[in-house]
Chains A and B, each alone.
Chain A
Amino acid sequence: MPDNQQLTTAIMVNETTFSEKNTQTNDIKKLPGDLAMWFFILAELTVFAIFFIGFAIAENLNLVMFSEGKAQLHKVAGLINTIALITSSYFVAISVHSMRVNKERQAVFRLLLALISAAIYVVLKLWEYQSLFEQGIDIETNTFFTLYFLITAFHFMHILLGMVILAYMAKNAYQGKYKNPETENEFSGFESGACYWHMVDLLWIILFPLIYII
C-alpha cells in the first residue's frame, strides 16, 4: 500500500500529464498562423509539385542527359546549402518559441541568425550559377538545365522573398508590434511568416535530392 503522500504525488503527476496532454491536443488542433497564408502555401506547393512531376517525367524520357547533367552540378555546394537552410529554419522555429514566452529581443536575435544562414545560401547559390555560366552552361543548354535553372531560380526568388518577410518580422518584433501574444491576430502574423520560411526550406529539402542526387 502506498502511503498517502505517494498517492497524492501520483495523482498530481497524473493530473499534470493529463493537463499537459490536453494543452498539447489544443495546440495541435490550432493551425499556427493565418488560414489565408496556408492557402497561399498550398498554392506554392502546388506549383513546385507540378515542377517536380515535370522534372521526373522529363528525366524518365532523357535518362542519360539527366545523369550527365547531375554529374555537372556541385553536390557539396548543394549539401552546404541544405545545411544552411535547415539551420535557418531551426533559428526561425526557436524564435517563434521566444515570442511565445514573450522574449522579443531574443526572437529578433534568432531571426538575425536565421537571416545570416539564409545569406550563406544566397551567396553560394549565386556562386554556383556563376561557375555554371563560366562553363558555358545556361538555361538553353538542354532540358535538364532548363529545368535546373527554372526550378532553382524560382526557389531562389522564394528565398529572397522569405528573407524580406523574416526581416519584416524582426523589425516588427524589435518595435514591439507583437507585444501581446494573447491577441491572436498580432501573433499570427509572426507565425504566418515562420510557416512561409519553413515551406521554402521544405521545398529545398525535396529539391536537393531530386535534382542533385537521385
Chain B
Amino acid sequence: MNTLKYQSQAVAKPYFVFAMILFVGQILFGLLMGLQYVVGDIVGGLIPFNVARMVHTNLLIVWLLFGFMGAAYYLVPEEAETELHSPKLAIALFWIFAAAGVATILGYLLVPYATLAHITGNDLWPTMGREFLEQPTITKIGIVVVALGFLYNLGMTILKGRKTAINMVMMTGLIGLAVFFLFAFYNPTNLALDKYFWWFVVHLWVEGVWELIMGAILAFVLIKVTGVDREVIEKWLYVIIAMALISGILGTGHHFYWLMTPAYWQWVGSIFSAIEPLPFFAMVLYAFNMVNRRRREHPNKAATLWALGTSVMAFLGAGVWGFLHTLAPVNYYTHGTQITAAHGHMAFYGAYAMIVMTIMSYAMPKLRGVGEANCNRAQVVEMWGFWLMTVGMVFITLFLTGAGVLQVWLQRLPESGEALSFMATQDKLAIFYWLREIAGVVFLLGLIAYLTSFFVTEKKAA
C-alpha cells in the first residue's frame, strides 16, 4: 500500500538502509574495543586499538550523516509540498558517498594509517590524523561534493515549494553542517591552534547545527504523529533553536579552557555551556506536551516512543552528562577522562542516533509500502529494540561514569607523586570496563531486535 505523499521521497530508503548497515559495523567495532580495553589484543594484531577506535567513531559519524540525508530527502519534499528537485541526483550521490565511505573504512582496516596517508597524497594537502577527521583529504573533498549536490537538490526543492519553519531550520542546520566541515581542511601546525579550529567542526556540529537538524526532525515527526497545530510546534521550535544556538555557540568556550586562550573563556565557556541543557529540557517538555495534547491516535506507536525517548535521552546524555564536567574548575580534573567517554556515548545515542531512528521508525513503513505503520507484532519487536538499546546505553554510561570518577580520584586528584600513572589507573578500572562490555552486549541485542522488526509480519490467521 503506497502511502507516500510524494514519490521522490523514496530516495530516502537506501540512505536509511545503508545507515543501519554502518550502525551494525559501529557497534561490532565498539564491542571489539571494549574487549581490547581489558584483555588487550585479541585479533592477532590485525586490528589495533587505535584503528578499531577510528572505525568505531568514523562509522558513527558517517551513518548519522546518511541518516540526516535520508531524513532530509524524506521530510523536505513533504514539507515543501512538491517532488524532490532531482531524485536521480540523490541516488547518484548516495552511491558516491557509500563507495567513498566503504573505501575509506577499508583503507583504515587494510593498510597502516601512514601508508593510507601516503597513497592518498596527504602530503600535498595535509588534513589527516585528527580525531574524528581522520579521513584522507580526497574523501573529505568527496564529502564536500556530496554535500554541495545534496544542498543544491534540497534548496531547489524548497525554492519551488512551500517554505515552512521546519524546512528553514532543517536547511540552516544542513548548510551549517557543510560550512563548518570546511574547517577540516585547515590544519595549522601549532597544536593549540590545530585543536582550536578542530572544535569549529566538532563542537559547532554536535552542539550547534546538528541540534537544529534534530529539532526540525523532531518537530516534523511530532506534527505527524500528534496532529497538533503546526503553529504551536513551530513556535517552540524557534525558542529551542534560539536557545541552542546562543548557548551552543558561546559554549564552544568550554573547549578553550586549556588551549592557551585568554582566561575569560573559562567564564564564557562555563556559564554558557551550563545552560546548554535548557534547549534539551525544552525538547522534553514540548515532546511530552504535544503527545499529551494529541488530536489523533497515530497507528505508529513505536515512532511516538522514539520521539519521546530521544528527547529524554538527549537531555540526559547531552544536557546532564555534559553539565557534569563542563564547569572549568571541574573540567580541570575531569578533562579527557572516562567521564568524557560516558557523556559522548549517551549524547550521541540520545540526541543523534535516536533522532535518526525516530524518523526511520515513522518513515520506513511508508517507504517500504507497508502503510501508515508496521503491524503490531513488528512494533512490539521494535519497542523491544528501543528498550534494550536504551537501557544498554544507560548502563554503558553509568559504568563509564563510575570508571571516570575513580580515574579522577586515582590519577588526577592526588598531588604530585601520589597519583597513579595512566596505565596503572586503567588496571584499577577493569571491573567497570567489563560491566560496560556486558551492557554493550545488551545494546547489540537491542540492535538485533530493532533490525529484526523490519522483517516481522503479522501472523496469518490459522
Residues of A within 8 A of B (CB): 34, 36-37, 39-40, 43, 46-47, 50-51, 54, 139-140, 146-147, 149-150
User: Contact at B267–A146, with CB atoms within 8 Å?
Assistant: yes
Name the contact of A150 in the complex, choosing from B238, B242, B268 (C-beta under 8 A).
Answer: B268
Q: Is B278 an interface residue (CB 8 A)?
A: yes
Q: Is B263 an interface residue (CB 8 A)?
A: yes
Q: Is B235 an interface residue (CB 8 A)?
A: yes
**Can you list 10 contacts pairing A with B, beta carbon distance less than 8 Å?**
A36-B235, A39-B282, A40-B239, A40-B243, A43-B275, A43-B278, A47-B272, A50-B275, A140-B264, A146-B264
Give the 10 A-B residue pairs with the shortest CB-CB distance, closest first. Answer: A146-B264, A36-B239, A36-B235, A43-B278, A50-B271, A40-B239, A47-B275, A43-B243, A139-B264, A140-B262
Given A46-B275, A46-B278, A50-B271, CB of A40 within 8 Å of CB of B242: yes
The secondary-structure label for the interface of chain A is helix
User: Contact at B264–A54, with CB atoms within 8 Å?
Assistant: no
A118 to B235, CA, bound (A): 28
- Minimum Cβ distance to chain A for residue B267 (Å): 6
Q: Is B274 an interface residue (CB 8 A)?
A: yes
Given A36-B236, A39-B282, A43-B243, CB of A150 within 8 Å of CB of B267: yes
A47 to B262, CA, bound (A): 21
Q: Mark B247-288, 1 if CB is under 8 A from A, else 0.
A: 000000000000000111001101110110010001000000
A34 to B232, CA, bound (A): 11
A51 to B268, CA, bound (A): 9
Given A50-B271, A50-B275, CB of A150 within 8 Å of CB of B239: no
- Report the count of interface residues on B (CB-CB < 8 A): 18
User: Contact at A146–B263, with CB atoms within 8 Å?
Assistant: yes
A146 to B266, CA, bound (A): 10
A1 to B296, CA, bound (A): 65
Given A34-B235, A36-B235, CB of A50 within 8 Å of CB of B274: yes
**B-chain residues with CB within 8 Å of residue A140 when the two chains form the complex:** 262-264
A84 to B270, CA, bound (A): 32
**B-chain residues with CB within 8 Å of residue A150 when the two chains form the complex:** 264, 267-268
- Minimum Cβ distance to chain A for residue B253 (Å): 11
User: Contact at B271–A47, with CB atoms within 8 Å?
Assistant: yes
Q: Mark B354-391, 1 if CB is under 8 A from A, else 0.
A: 00000000000000000000000000000000000000
Residue of A nearest to B234 (CB): A36
Known A36-B239, A150-B264; 19 more pairs at CB < 8 Å: A36-B235, A36-B238, A37-B239, A39-B239, A39-B282, A40-B239, A43-B243, A43-B275, A46-B278, A47-B271, A51-B271, A54-B267, A54-B270, A139-B264, A140-B264, A146-B263, A146-B267, A150-B267, A150-B268
Residue of B nearest to A139 (CB): B264
A39 to B240, CA, bound (A): 10
**A-chain residues with CB within 8 Å of residue B235 when the two chains form the complex:** 34, 36
Residue of A nearest to B264 (CB): A146
User: Contact at A54–B271, with CB atoms within 8 Å?
Assistant: yes
- Minimum Cβ distance to chain A for residue B270 (Å): 8
